[in-house]
Chain A
Amino acid sequence: MANTGWNEFEIGAMLRSFDGGIDDIAGTLQEDRNYSQNNSFSASVADWRIEKPVFNKDYCIDCQFCWIYCPDISIISRDKKMVGVDMDHCKGCGICVEVCPTNPKSLLMFPEHADEETEIARWPEKETKEK
């Protein structure tokens, strides 16, 4: 792409999302799709993040709220089971934490440099609600 002249690229300020065609986009997992170099999936935005979500599967009820609300499709879910966070595309917005309904929350935001195992080891206790 770098050495392409104005007369060589495809016209119309338009990008192809995939190399070649794609038959069943909904039935193909992200990692199995032939994303093109131009697709935003091929670019990491991890360096946008100053806080990261940490996932504690002990409290997760697989409600899929985080998967539904994540604006960047960065929640990895397999067979309706929450698996983890796609750290290449997560921008650290914290929406998944906000919508997590469990008590204590199974997703929490920590500074980017925090050690995941340490944070999970001292996960907050269940909050008692004031009546």
Chain B
Amino acid sequence: MAFDKMELRDIEVWDGNFAAAQAMRQCQIDVVAAYPITPSTPIVEGYAKFLADNYVEGEFVMVESEHAAMSGCIGAAAAGGRVATATSSQGFALMVETLYQASGMRLPIVLNVVNRALAAPLNVNGDHSDMYLGRDSGWIQFDAYCPQDAYDLNFIAFKVAEDHDVRLPAMVHQDGFMTSHTAQGVKTLTDDQGYNFVGDFKPMNDMLDFEHPVTHGVQTEEDWHFEHKARQHNDLMTKVLPKIQTAFDEFEKLSGRKYNIVEEYDMADADVAVVCMGTSVETAREVATEMRAKGIKAGVVGIRVIRPFPFEQIKAALKDVKAIAALDRSSPNGAPGMLFNEIAGALFNTDTKALLSGYVYGLGGRDLTKAHLTDLFTELQANVDAGKVTTPLQQFIGVRGPKLSFL
């Protein structure tokens, strides 16, 4: 090989951004087209440095906006290359128009999204508004809770996205600053292990196959558009989760690190459960353990795969609990949060009698403290004792001023 290999220690101290950049290096990305945006900038900076130092054979395309960055990635992926980039917040919003192109053209691009609030007012800190903005775009969405996850999920994202039965782009989400800029010990794979897990890139129907030229991104109008969308939806609903499970299993064999589509914590005999994503999962787990010491049977369900939403796994995880709190870290602007909606949808036609309430928390980087979660678990237990939801359906955690609740 024409590029150098990097000697890594078994455990390196990396933040989430650098962990993602290292994973991109080990996967040997052919093309990265990127436009820097806080807090995801160090991901593509890291890749650019690896490229300059001859640790990767690829191309770094400097573009004039995130819209152009994703457009460049789509062109490179259609031409037949392994492609990735990173973005956040407003940049993600600017990419949205092209995200639909990527998934509709079935191009296996990997996008690292470092989650950050959407303006206005302008804010560089973390919440899940951008993650939620992309949820109908037809991409597979993984959620990392810590730098280790951000590293590992990149490999899994490439493996699933590039599978010839799937061929759908994938996002790896991590919490802005909380994961992306917090250095932790990250267990590494060697360059060979990482690359061999993902494997050589095998393009399908690429434009640079001169003997079988194809037209990408065609117009279909009413006679074929519906069929294409139906096929894409069908593949997401039926094919992707089994492939992800297989990739998780293979990754466990390789690294010893186990990932689940839905991460259950103390759920076996839980009465009350919190469903959340991102860094909040780890905080909630800690509080759940403390609640158990106080006699409340608390559990935590972490969503690992946001799209396709794991309805069956959620049903299984929550079938015996008595009260559930769905924690949404996004400004729902006129509706219950996305997690609340999906969980309500998953449980509606089941035999569950669980009481479901929705909470909005942590917008624009506001902390979710252990005290908040202790109150929340206590409130859920109060609902269980009363046998009904005694609180409003939607509440805001930690917002200044009078208590805010709706529905």
Contacts and interface: CB of A to CB of B under 8 A. Distances in A.
Contacts of A5: 227
A17 interface: yes
A16 B218 contact: no
A15 interface: yes
Nearest to A17: B213
Interface string A12-36: 1111111001110100000000000
Given A6-B234, A7-B234, A13 B211 contact: no
Contact of B214 (A9, A14, A25): A14
A116 B385 CA distance: 93
Interface residues of A, number: 19
B349 interface: no
Question: Among the interface residues B212, B215, B227, which one has the most CB atoms of the partner chain A within 10 A?
Answer: B215
B215 A38 contact: yes
A13 B100 CA distance: 12
A25 to B, nearest CB: 7
A11 interface: yes
Given A6-B234, A7-B234, A15 B227 contact: no
B214 A13 contact: no
A18 B209 CA distance: 12
Nearest to B209: A21
A22 B216 contact: no
Question: Among the interface residues A11, A13, A38, which one has the most CB atoms of the partner chain B within 10 A?
Answer: A13
A92 to B, nearest CB: 22
B100 to A, nearest CB: 11
Given A7-B234, A11-B106, A11-B167, A16 B228 contact: no
A11 to B, nearest CB: 5
Nearest to B235: A11
Contacts of B228: 6, 11, 13
A15 B230 contact: no
Contacts of B224: 9
B101 to A, nearest CB: 9
A113 B342 CA distance: 62
Interface in A64-111: none
Given A6-B231, A7-B234, A15 B210 contact: no
Given A14-B215, A16-B214, A23-B211, A6 B227 contact: yes
B214 A17 contact: yes
A14 B216 contact: yes
B213 A12 contact: no
Given A11-B106, A13-B104, A13-B220, A22 B211 contact: yes
B317 to A, nearest CB: 31
Interface of B: 104-107, 167, 205, 210-218, 220, 224, 226-228, 230-232, 234-235
Interface of A: 4-7, 9-18, 21-23, 25, 38
